[in-house]
Structure 1
Amino acid sequence: MAPTSEILTTERILEATEEVLRRHGPAKATVVDVARALGVSHGTVYRHFRTKAALREAVTKRWLDRTTDALSGIAAEDRAPETRLRDWLAALFAAKRRKSGDDPELFATYKVLTGENVTAVGQHITELVDQLTVIIQAGVDTGVFTAPDPRARARAVFHATGRFHDPAYAQEWERPDIETEFDEVLDLVLRGLRASA
């Protein structure tokens, strides 16, 4: 149990919740389990998160934000838009593969919680499309890409590459030819974005 003398922060509660979810799974994990792991009463946890659903949504958002935050640096870089787009999509694919491969129990929980928290998932997708829009707009501004509506094009790129970042496809990510398939799709996407000479 965690010492109760430490200040109970939202971050500590989310860390404990993640561990409880990993250990018990989403069907069996309770707020009481989280409180026990923290060495506090469940009422103390409820003072930070009014409901179990709110706590699970916060954990889901925290997981999704890790990916969004990691990719934001690539989107903001001052490099060639094609390179940024390639690196951004590769980093998204790598992050999702790590989540599924490094901690399968937590990833299974993640899939359940993202199914429950469509608002958090929708915000995550919006943030990712925003980042793609920045990259594609930079390509349009430099004459590398053609896109009458960069945001619409960003949404199309996101959906066209879904097989490499949507958790529904996780079972395919360890196939030996998946990297080749990713490169082929990425080449096709880039050819479609390039401005005609």
Structure 2
Amino acid sequence: MKKNILISMLFVFVFMFTITFSAIAEETVPLVDSKPAIIDTIKPKSIIKEVKPAIKKIIKKEISDIKSKPEIKKEIFVQLKDLKCVKAAVEKREIAIQTAVDVYSASIKASFEARKNSLLIAWDIAKTKERNVAIKNAFVQQKKAGKDALKIDKKTRLQIWQSFIKERIICKVEPTGEDMNEDVNFNK
């Protein structure tokens, strides 16, 4: 990257140098203001003819150095490698989130199944007071199981995202712009 900037600056310098001396090419530039010396003037066209090949040689050398250096090719390869690394991390994260959703759904479904079984047992009780207590307990147990499942789901998702962030850092890639809660909040 620094080499590209250096080459760009060199091209700008050559361009400005050429324009400056082309503008005054028809005139002579005095070296000394008051007294003429042995060589009292310089012809800008002659300077351009001498300097231009040297600058071209420098530019060609810089370009050949860039092409021959394996670090630049390696940098491009590393960037592709980093992208593959993040792609694998994203896939791992998404599979883990889907698994977490499946586990959460199974937990909620199990809590409803347990409530159904508790309610069926409660309706076998003949005494009203005992039956009402059993019915209330069935709903309380289902609500507690649902809260526990949600707590576990949130903790699992947080761990999944933290793991992804660590993997992304290892892959040497900037933040992806994804929000941790983006996969959960459907109300946006």
TM-score (norm: length of structure 1): 0.25
In our comparison, the structure showing a higher alpha carbon Rg is 2
TM-score (norm: length of structure 2): 0.26
